[in-house]
A and B are shown apart, each in its own frame.
Chain A
């Protein structure tokens, strides 16, 4: 299984720097490009000499800057969570959704709104984590039952069952209660716009713990992705490692869902795109995900701002529309299956 990356290490490093530069460019574009035209001077001043009386500068400062920052964090979190899920389950179709983490987080929030009559996104955060964790735990519990323990196939099936179940309940709650719907419908559309920055800053610590923790687990993910038997023969406590990785995935995906709402495909597609360069080496894969995730998410967000003027298309829809063909193209390449 020890594939070499398609690029030698020196080139991988240089390419990563290139990606960082591209991300910087996209981040600047994210401040410059949108529903209304904004000059370089206004974009610059909005950051460094903010004049609250200027309409253009207020647009940059209060709308584009927050969505850019949220996009950076959410993009990195979803891509890393997806890569980690694919490693632990050895399933190329794994993403944060596969273990029911995303559905769990969404369900947690909707349940809290329904029973607790919460109204502010800041209050949603904890229920997103709790729901995501509960869903992941349920998936593992179902997936580990029976002979053979938690095999990738059983985990995937359990994840599908848990996700469908939670989604049905969520829909039922929304159908039953108009008030809940009115509160959460603003959040259910995965979007970087119209989000509260304080919500993002409140999940930021968890997000950082998730990102740093996951980078620290890169070696373990490498070993784990070689398969249960190999990992055990190398002396790894696979169960323990899986539990830690899953907890980190819940932190990352839960934070992303709480900050932006459900955004699909990114967690699934980015690791595959990244592996075209890096091969299965998880140290490089995770480092690339950290950069390419936000790069693609912000690009999708910018695209969504300009395709439907004067309206905008939510980034969750853009990623779904763009992600599908990307995924098909990837699936036609043999390399996808080689985790």
Chain B
């Protein structure tokens, strides 16, 4: 099993609460246990960062996927070349048939005014895999939904869509998969400067803007969203320096904690929040790390975002004597998302150019209610 697969699965499991990517190890463990130790241990080896993610995390957020020709902001300068993790892709002319096989790229593509012919389902079972925050941009378009929940790519279906370009910036594809996709159409893979799934939304939007010949629109949208975030941050001075954590129960008496090098945490950090040092040390450069319930006090931050799969899981956490000892519990500082199809939770997982304004509108009030340390202000969506 390739490390990238595990990374992808781990990431998806955390962000989608297991609904997008099944913990394969769990299924294997249930199906007899003669020869699975290798794969089973693989899924728990979350504490072992891959060298590439270490390296990537050292890169500054500004050193994204690079623009080779003059990034003038004008469209129509085809052919364009785009550098990414697996090399350089040339797009000969402005694409018409756009297929997105990353988990969140429906958003930036729609934001740039392009209707993709096919998009990928991540989680939530939304119509056309498009969430509420992107429905205006979708309009009456009806993209085909590619359901590939276990990370596998359906090359036949993708080829049958006759794409002009394949967008895969938030897909975690491997080099082999990139090579096969490139035989179908020019493929825009993830940046090599960040861990898989770690590309900042600005970079993602910018690269897709170049690939689609819509650089000017891309810059415009990025500036709008950055302004909205900055405005929210300045309107909530209490966010500055407040600690934050995002976790979900992993079922065996443990929690997954999401690392700071992910788009959702970057958004929260851009609002002024900080990831506490002891938690950051534990997660390291990973997109997420597993912590024992005995160390639940690592999650005792000024604001805790806790995502569960069912309301029962939430009740179980709230009834837990250890959790009840935490300040987040006593002072009502936890924002619970009870189900993975909660649109605010979805918007946070996506953290795209379209979902971030939705978050500014709907998550920021919850954050404010949580950070005030007053249990009477309900912070649950």
Contacts and interface: CB of A to CB of B under 8 A. Distances in A.
Given A58-B325, A308-B44, A63 B29 contact: no
Given A311-B291, A311-B292, A312-B292, A190 B29 contact: yes
B205 interface: no
Nearest to A38: B294
Contacts of B254: 193-194, 311-312
Contacts of A187: 251
A188 B19 contact: no
A182 B252 contact: no
B294 A63 contact: yes
B55 interface: no
A53 B41 contact: no
B224 interface: no
A69 to B, nearest CB: 14
Given A97-B32, A103-B32, A317 B41 contact: yes
A79 interface: no
Contact of B252 (A53, A168, A194, A320): A194
A61 B26 CA distance: 28
Contacts of A256: none
Contact of B40 (A35, A170, A174, A320): A320
B120 to A, nearest CB: 16
Interface in A26-65: 34-36, 52-53, 55, 58-59, 61-63
Interface in A177-223: 178, 181-183, 185-191, 193-195
Given A58-B325, A311-B47, A189 B33 contact: no
Interface residues of A, number: 58
Interface residues of B, number: 47
A280 interface: no
A188 B294 contact: no
A151 interface: no
A102 B34 CA distance: 13
A111 interface: no
B293 interface: yes
Contacts of A103: 31-32
B251 A185 contact: yes
A251 to B, nearest CB: 21
Nearest to A193: B253
Interface string A159-181: 00001100110110011001001
Interface in A57-89: 58-59, 61-63, 67
B22 A175 contact: yes
B365 interface: no
Contacts of B26: 185, 188-189
Contact of B294 (A34, A102, A185, A195): A34
Interface in A276-326: 305, 308-314, 316-317, 320-321, 324
B186 interface: no
B290 A106 contact: no
A194 B22 contact: no
Contact of A35 (B45, B294, B313): B294
A265 B47 CA distance: 25
Contacts of B282: 310
B295 A310 contact: yes
A118 B309 CA distance: 14
A316 B29 contact: yes
A124 B301 CA distance: 35
A136 to B, nearest CB: 16
A316 B310 contact: no
Interface string A12-29: 000000000000000000
A167 B32 contact: yes
A190 B290 CA distance: 17
B297 interface: yes
Nearest to A312: B292
B211 to A, nearest CB: 32
Residue of A34, A35, A191 ringed by the most chain B CB atoms within 10 A: A35
A183 B310 contact: yes
A120 interface: yes
Nearest to A320: B37
Interface string B43-85: 0111100000000000000000000000000000000000000
Contact of A185 (B23, B31, B34, B291): B23
A63 B45 CA distance: 23
Nearest to A107: B30
Interface of A: 34-36, 52-53, 55, 58-59, 61-63, 67, 97, 102-103, 106, 110, 119-120, 163-164, 167-168, 170-171, 174-175, 178, 181-183, 185-191, 193-195, 261-262, 264-265, 305, 308-314, 316-317, 320-321, 324
17 contacts: A55-B322, A62-B321, A120-B312, A164-B32, A167-B31, A168-B31, A171-B31, A174-B27, A193-B253, A262-B29, A262-B33, A309-B292, A310-B290, A310-B291, A311-B290, A316-B40, A321-B41
